[in-house]
Structure 1
Amino acid sequence: MEATESIGVSGRLALLWKKNTITYTGYVKMHHWMAGKIKAINRDTEFIIINVYGPITTDKKKAVWSEINHFLTDLKAPHYIIGGDFNTILHQSEKIGGAKIMRQSQKDFIEWVDNNYLLEIKTDKSSHTWNNRRSGFSNISEILDRFFFKGDLISFQVEMKASILPWSRSDHFPVLLELIGEVKTIGRPFKFENM
């Protein structure tokens, strides 16, 4: 397990893995994100993981996106997985209830995702990952927790599966990312028929 210190009354970032499956080398530990290299034992799989806990305010979110941008630019690794609670949605369809306004933090988040060519690893259910636990018209649900992949999927050769786990005491549903074996390529050549 690798973890950061808690932020006030909020939780902290933690990275957990099955024993004897990977080695982890930590690179950066900040208040709102941490990064390290994961190397699978008995396989060639290797990538940089960035765990994110998005701040609440727009200015702090923008600062975190900027810090991660600098890290991505400086490191230049072939594969990244970036995940966590980003505390903002990408699209209005990811929110039920509350005001339907596109806020500046959402625009900044969309720009950050686009500029870094991030590919979202969709969950097995298209469910919301956060709920304010209120009832009736006061209830709001959003997709705040997610995983992204950055890099060359063909050379990564690992199947990635994100699943939303059952609700606990938190206002967030936990999201599990599984890396399942190596992707098997089919040795069928590409054929073209001129017509």
Structure 2
Amino acid sequence: METRLDREGFKYWCSDLPYPNRLIVKHPNTGGGLALIWKKDVKMDLINYTVHHFLVRVVEEDGFVWFLTCFYGWSEYNSQAKSWALLNHLRSFVEGSWSCISDFNAILSSSEKLSRQPTQSRIMDDFREALELNNLADLGYQGYPFTWNNKGPGEANMKERLDQAVATGDWRDEFSLTTVTHLSSHASDHLPIILQT
């Protein structure tokens, strides 16, 4: 998940959560960062990380092995190629089924945006191409269609579905009952999303 909390903030605000395992990395010189929290009984090994991702290997109780990437894409349009280069690079570490849950900071189609400012088709094409190149497909969602709101007034308001979960076909076959739900948020400009397998 994207977070503004550092390790001390997590310790203070999230100590009551039933997730004793935590990875937290802060983006230098900004308020943002990434956090991954999980239950004690989940077998998960960190492969690598940067301020833009965590890549972990998960082993299910039945021995099924899959890879999870928590991803935070570059938000500036002129830097988004870095997001797709990182995604392509991460694929080289994945041996088998793969799922990414992410703030990609990009949309797949114009229907994922509500704004007076249209998104350039090249940006959407680049995102679709990066997913296709890595055999990743959108897992869909339940709930409100937009996960980010700039909270601008009137015509300056912009809403987009920037946060998504995607996966390879073999991952989707293994977890065929998966749901992705957009939850509500009162404080953040992003809605949290939950991936349930």
TM-score tier by shorter-chain length is 0.7 to 0.9
Q: Is the 8 A contact 1:78 1:151 kept in 2?
A: no
Compute the displacement of 1:88 (Å): 1.0
CA-based RMSD: 2.0
Q: 2:68 aligned to 46, 49, 61, which one?
A: 49
In structure 1, C-alpha distance between the alignment counterparts of 2:170 and 2:156, rounded to whole Å: 43
Q: Which residue of 1 aligns with 2:166?
A: 148
Q: Which residue of 1 aligns with 2:11?
A: none
Q: 2:77 aligned to 18, 43, 58, which one?
A: 58
In structure 2, C-alpha distance between the alignment counterparts of 1:70 and 1:138, rounded to whole Å: 36
Q: Which residue of 2 aligns with 1:12?
A: 33
Structure 1: segments with no counterpart, 5+ residues: 180-195
In structure 2, C-alpha distance between the alignment counterparts of 1:173 and 1:76, rounded to whole Å: 28
In structure 1, the residue corresponding to 2:44 is in which secondary structure?
Answer: strand
Q: Which residue of 2 aligns with 1:111?
A: 129
In structure 2, C-alpha distance between the alignment counterparts of 1:29 and 1:64, rounded to whole Å: 14
Structure 1 residues 135, 66: closer, same or farther in 2, change over 3 A?
same
In structure 1, C-alpha distance between the alignment counterparts of 2:76 and 2:172, rounded to whole Å: 37
Compute the displacement of 1:178 (Å): 1.1
In structure 2, C-alpha distance between the alignment counterparts of 1:51 and 1:156, rounded to whole Å: 19
Number of equivalent positions: 176
In structure 1, the residue corresponding to 2:168 is in which secondary structure?
Answer: strand
Larger Rg: 1
Compute the displacement of 1:6 (Å): 3.0
In structure 2, the residue corresponding to 1:87 is in which secondary structure?
Answer: coil
- Residues 1-150 of structure 1 correspond to what in structure 2 (within 5 A)? 1-20=22-41, 22-40=42-60, 42-72=61-91, 74-102=92-120, 104-125=122-143, 127-150=145-168
Q: Is the 8 A contact 1:162 1:178 kept in 2?
A: yes
Q: Is the 8 A contact 1:162 1:177 kept in 2?
A: yes
Identity of aligned residues (%): 24
In structure 2, C-alpha distance between the alignment counterparts of 1:48 and 1:3, rounded to whole Å: 18
The normalised TM-score by structure 1 is 0.81
In structure 1, C-alpha distance between the alignment counterparts of 2:51 and 2:138, rounded to whole Å: 24
Q: Is the 8 A contact 1:95 1:143 kept in 2?
A: yes
The normalised TM-score by structure 2 is 0.80
User: Which amino acid in the other structure matches residue 3 of structure 1?
Assistant: I
